[in-house]
Structure 1
Amino acid sequence: MGQPRLPVIVGFGGINGAGRASGHHAYRRLVQDALPSATRQRTLAALAQLMGLEDPVASTAHILDHTLVRRVESSHFDPDAVSWTQRLVAQGEGGPLHLTLRKQQLPAIIPGNWTVTPLSVGQVAVRIDGALDMLLPSLREFEVKAAGQLPTGFHPGKLYQSRNHPRGLQMMVYAASDALGSLGIPWEQIQQRVAADKISVYAGSAMGQLDDAGGGGMLKARYNGQRVTSKFCPLSLAEMPADFVNAYVLGSLGATGASLGACASFLYNLRLGIEDIRSGRARVAFIGSSEAPVNPEVMEGYGAMGALASDKGLRELDGLPSDVEPDHRRACRPFAENCGFTIAESSQMVVLFDDALALELGATVYGAATDVFVNADGYKKSISGPGVGNYITMAKAVAAVRAMLGEQAVRKGGLVQAHGTGTPQNRVTESQILSATAKAFGIDAWPVAALKCYLGHSLGSASGDQVSATLGIWADGIIPGINTIDALAEDVCQDGLAFTLRHREIDPARQSYAIINSKGFGGNNASATLLSPAVTARMLQSRHGSGQWQAWERANEEVRARQQDYDAAMTAGTVSPTYRFDFGVLGDADVAIGERDMQVGSYRIDLDLPNPYADMQP
């Protein structure tokens, strides 16, 4: 088969509470107070455009206050007055209960204890012998009031003909379009160089689409006296983000799907893309996840588990009286005294090329994604409790670095993006896992970042947030500090670890790797090995030689210029998401199957397949 191909990261895009991922803008929102003035102003301008603000300088305070984790805003729901349904049993005073109703309000099947008497053409009298069991619409204060939300004023569905799409799918269209634009290479040019069946798309959402335009609307409609529409069911499916990218953004005919692993889902999909690139099954892979769980129903579910940081819990941590509102911006406190995680919304997508294609097209190299290791916990006492599987994934991820780069690189040139949810169990168990791994590989002061303190926990998209931020760290040389905490909790294991409580400057040229760690409900553990752009560049030069590398450098100049043009146009608000509805649809007449190949539209697909079991002739 020859040498395995190297999966190179050549583009990325998305949207979360920090803003637009491409151009490193979302990452730079996290470290905005440590950036040079010009860089900071560019990111504030990008955020101002998203939020519909004209003057980023005059609006700086508003931008900073209305991004990242904060109090749930009314565009989602009012946490002080959440719609509820209260059961009410009514009876007549000393006898039957009498009602006057419009005839059309009568139930289709009249209850046995009802007597209905016509009063007029449109009205009836109803006598009820016994009790009337009713569900009464009401309002209730919600105990969880903090969430990681998209920047205030940003509405992805208004940027294209969203046709009542669930919010998560709107976000995925934006993220995929952003990743596509970030490439600096026209998609049509890539399609000319890559066979149609050599493009993979793996994207999903751990929760599915549970807002009112998706599964949530389908499940609530009957109880709210509404009609179930034909879109609710199909658009709620967990793999629908990939389907939307294929059907409306890329027009892809290649491999597709979603691998679900609760909060590790993005890395599960990254694993599929890496395997496709390494094996040669694909030359291009789009990897993504989209999660929109900031709604009362989903948050109530996690709150019932005791998993979310409530106002009561935050007040107890800070010693505040019951009538004082806690600081919702500090709701998520990884590795400190804490009381639960903070739910968040995010959609992220990265683009992988194989190494030869990246050089051929002059693609910008942001790093390489070489491995994702996935292991379960084995037998469990609690489906939501932590287990031992993450020890395996972390050890393998670091062992992969050692195999590729050697002992010194492991010890001196890496960092860890911790899962860091902000729960008491996570701070203990994950710190023990990271410390044990550091000790085993001789690492003395492993830098540990925990981005959920800024962004919250976006469930299946969380590791996508971690990946895009890691690319920013390698670009700007600043590891974001865990800025919501003053000190680590006493039960956090620190041996061999260097938790970054404040922003930490590093030299990107001396960085070798990052480990992206993710732990999911049910024992879904995943740890990914990413190689820095500096290391990836040396590997590419070693494999392809100085001549091809110099040709890549020349081609990359034009690509970088187009990337800068795209970023400037996005900041100016002159670029709309790619959304191609009813565009280039292929049918039966566009397919011709031959003995050795087939034609689908303008695409040729090879049918002369090798026998992978040639040594096992029957």
Structure 2
Amino acid sequence: MMVTTNKVPTTARAKAKTHLAATGSTRRAKASSGGGLGRETRRNTRAATPSRQVVCRGVSNLHEGDSQVHYSKRSPKDRIVITGMGVASCYGQDTSVFYDSLLAGKSGVRKLDDMFDTSGLAVTFAAPCSDDVFSTEGYIDRKNARRQDKVIKLCITTGKKSLEDAGLVGEELEKLDKARCGCLVGSGIGGMTFFEKNVHTYYNRGPTKVSPFFIPYIIPNMPSAMLAMDVGFMGPNYSVSTACATANYCYHLAARHIRNGDADLMLVGGTEAPVNPIALAGFHACRALSTSNEDPAAASRPWDKNRNGFVMGEGCGTLVMESLEHAQARGANILAEYLGGAVTCDAHHMTEPREDGFGVRSCMELAMADAGIEREEVNYINAHATSTPLGDVAEVAAIKKVFSDTSHLKMNATKSMTGHALGAAGGLEAVACVKAIETGLLHPTINLLDCEESIDIDTCAGEKKEHQVTAAMSNSFGFGGHNSVCIFGPYKE
């Protein structure tokens, strides 16, 4: 079927992209002058400032014949580095244990009989962040730990662990200008377990027994808000909810806040706790989940010819993102650099990707333009790769359109072991990308026994690979046609 799109005039698109690249310097110029600057004055101001020199390079644009994409050489105020990480997953809540488990090819998928009654469900397994591997001890007081929805507990605990990893505890945390520190932790669904519990209460015990925390604990903005309350961050704070693309949207937007001068430091990621009966029933109803109940650990099999749907996962992944200038001023240990990102929309179907891969392709192209790198510099892709029949091959088809030569590329599928953590997936995978940069090792893609013929990129099938990452591309795509791509790289002075 032929799909048409509304074309934006070339000159308008070029001006828009140039404007986005120059927004940070323009806003600072306006603030210092007390008023707006004319177009010619702004151009001369940028040209006279070496750290903000505007340059351009060609990319494979959205439509043939489009003009080049512009970006700015970035000053330390505009460069964004990762100084801390936190994770909650089916392996626990330590980033080293998380990545060591991935490197070992350990599946976190298991039966759920010990968590709730699965007798009436068509899908009886998932990759939960269960009580035996996750604890709020030392991070949330006991009263709140008893009553909060899990999606909030995952966020607060993981966010605080990220700050610890960044050396921001005690006196060091209090030294921060908290009015210039923000939280942006998204969730695709919000407090689903608390929602389910109180719906049962309403019908079985009556409306007066519904919890007074019902609304606050189910809305998706509350994890980020409550994290900010606990650590005192008063800068930008909100939640993005773009299904499985959520966490990458958060990283992309947090970077913009820092580059626009809204914040010096952002605590960013995705949180999700959907392993409960109603979520499993709902995703099964829309034919998204694998039903391989006889062998749960082998159910998530990205790119394998016998894949039959994704496996539900849950957890939280957060990063401390700050301007290089701010990180250097406080003597922070820099783990990696956030190079750039992009978001686009398929505008096609509620749950299925575009067959031509247009939205995914353009998102990868724009992310590289934002990062200011050539495509040859990207040598690792942490793929979205959920294990769905259409999605897996559509993503690879788009990758092959972007990278005409894929011989230098390696890619893997974290979800083959962690399942699909929906809004938190990009958070877990961002941690995996930073650890890959740090260790020089890529984790395997497990359960890939009979690969699709069209996939001729090295998928790290069945074994970890030594690989010095020059730039890691993390892909996340969500229901509704939401596409998001983030690029991380090793920090270089």
Q: TM-score range by the shorter chain?
A: 0.7 to 0.9
| Residues 186, 498 of structure 1: alpha-carbon distance in 2 compared, 3 angstrom cutoff | same
Query: Take 1:477 and 1:457, find their aligned partners in 2: how far apart are those partners?
Result: 24
| Residue in structure 2 matching 1:459, options 411, 417, 422 | 422
Farther-moved stretch of structure 1 (293-302 vs 162-171): 162-171
2:240 is the alignment partner of 1:275: no
How many residue pairs match? The answer is 410
| Residues 195, 424 of structure 1: alpha-carbon distance in 2 compared, 3 angstrom cutoff | same
* Residues 156-235 of structure 1 aligned to structure 2 (within 5 Å): 156-157=135-136, 160-161=141-142, 162-186=145-169, 188-192=171-175, 194-211=176-193, 214-226=194-206, 227-235=209-217
Query: Take 1:220 and 1:157, find their aligned partners in 2: how far apart are those partners?
Result: 26
Query: Take 1:450 and 1:407, find their aligned partners in 2: how far apart are those partners?
Result: 20
8 Å CA contact 1:18–1:27 kept in 2: the answer is: no
Q: CA deviation digits over 1:22-74, x for unaligned, max 9?
A: 3x2201111137xxxxxxxxxxxxxxxxxxxxxxxxxxxxxx7xx71111241
| Residues 428, 356 of structure 1: alpha-carbon distance in 2 compared, 3 angstrom cutoff | same
8 Å CA contact 1:372–1:528 kept in 2: the answer is: yes
Shift of 1:156: 2.9
8 Å CA contact 2:93–2:133 kept in 1: the answer is: no
| Residues 74, 270 of structure 1: alpha-carbon distance in 2 compared, 3 angstrom cutoff | same
| 1:166 counterpart letter in structure 2 | D
| 1:512 counterpart letter in structure 2 | T
| Residue in structure 2 matching 1:72, options 106, 112, 116 | 112
Identity %: 23
| Residues 278, 516 of structure 1: alpha-carbon distance in 2 compared, 3 angstrom cutoff | same
2:483 is the alignment partner of 1:516: no
8 Å CA contact 1:199–1:284 kept in 2: the answer is: yes
Q: CA deviation digits over 1:187-230, x for unaligned, max 9?
A: 532442x433211110121101011xx22233332222251010
Secondary structure at the aligned position of 2:160 is classed as: helix
Counterpart position of 2:460: 500
8 Å CA contact 1:68–1:150 kept in 2: the answer is: no
2:296 is the alignment partner of 1:333: no
Counterpart position of 1:305: 286
2:434 is the alignment partner of 1:434: no
Counterpart position of 2:83: 10
Q: Where is the strand percentage greater, Structure 1 or Structure 2?
A: 1
8 Å CA contact 2:375–2:403 kept in 1: the answer is: no
Query: Take 1:408 and 1:164, find their aligned partners in 2: how far apart are those partners?
Result: 50
| Residues 423, 225 of structure 1: alpha-carbon distance in 2 compared, 3 angstrom cutoff | same
Q: CA deviation digits over 1:96-154, x for unaligned, max 9?
A: xxxxxxxxxxxxxxxxxxxxxxxxxxxxxxxxxxxxxxxxxxxx3x1101201125623
Shift of 1:260: 1.6
Q: CA deviation digits over 1:497-548, x for unaligned, max 9?
A: 221103233243xx2100000110001100111112xxx22xx2xxxxxxxx
Counterpart position of 2:125: 146
2:445 is the alignment partner of 1:482: yes
| Residue in structure 2 matching 1:352, options 321, 324, 343 | 321
Q: Which runs of 5+ in 1 are unaligned?
A: 34-63, 81-139, 315-324, 541-618
Query: Take 1:155 and 1:446, find their aligned partners in 2: how far apart are those partners?
Result: 35
| 1:484 counterpart letter in structure 2 | N
Counterpart position of 1:530: 488
Query: Take 1:178 and 1:385, find their aligned partners in 2: how far apart are those partners?
Result: 36
Query: Take 2:191 and 2:340, find their aligned partners in 1: how far apart are those partners?
Result: 29
Query: Take 1:407 and 1:520, find their aligned partners in 2: how far apart are those partners?
Result: 24
| 1:209 counterpart letter in structure 2 | G
Given the two structures, how large is their TM-score scaled by the length of structure 2? 0.79
Query: Take 1:222 and 1:237, find their aligned partners in 2: how far apart are those partners?
Result: 18
| Residues 272, 479 of structure 1: alpha-carbon distance in 2 compared, 3 angstrom cutoff | same
Farther-moved stretch of structure 1 (345-354 vs 150-159): 150-159
| 2:127 counterpart letter in structure 1 | G
Secondary structure at the aligned position of 1:517 is classed as: strand
8 Å CA contact 1:157–1:167 kept in 2: the answer is: no
8 Å CA contact 2:351–2:479 kept in 1: the answer is: yes
| 2:331 counterpart letter in structure 1 | G
Shift of 1:235: 0.9
| 2:459 counterpart letter in structure 1 | F
| Residue in structure 2 matching 1:375, options 340, 344, 348 | 344
Query: Take 1:383 and 1:357, find their aligned partners in 2: how far apart are those partners?
Result: 41
8 Å CA contact 2:448–2:462 kept in 1: the answer is: no
| Residues 359, 390 of structure 1: alpha-carbon distance in 2 compared, 3 angstrom cutoff | same
Shift of 1:258: 0.9
Counterpart position of 1:237: 219
- What is the alpha-carbon root mean square deviation over aligned residues? 2.0
8 Å CA contact 2:123–2:284 kept in 1: the answer is: yes
| 1:215 counterpart letter in structure 2 | F
8 Å CA contact 2:235–2:262 kept in 1: the answer is: no
Query: Take 1:280 and 1:234, find their aligned partners in 2: how far apart are those partners?
Result: 30
| Residues 21, 524 of structure 1: alpha-carbon distance in 2 compared, 3 angstrom cutoff | farther
* Residues 556-567 of structure 1 aligned to structure 2 (within 5 Å): none
Q: CA deviation digits over 1:61-93, x for unaligned, max 9?
A: xxx7xx711112412x1323xxxxxxxxxxxxx
Counterpart position of 2:266: 285
2:418 is the alignment partner of 1:418: no
Counterpart position of 1:29: 101
| Residue in structure 1 matching 2:334, options 365, 375, 378 | 365
Query: Take 1:247 and 1:389, find their aligned partners in 2: how far apart are those partners?
Result: 37
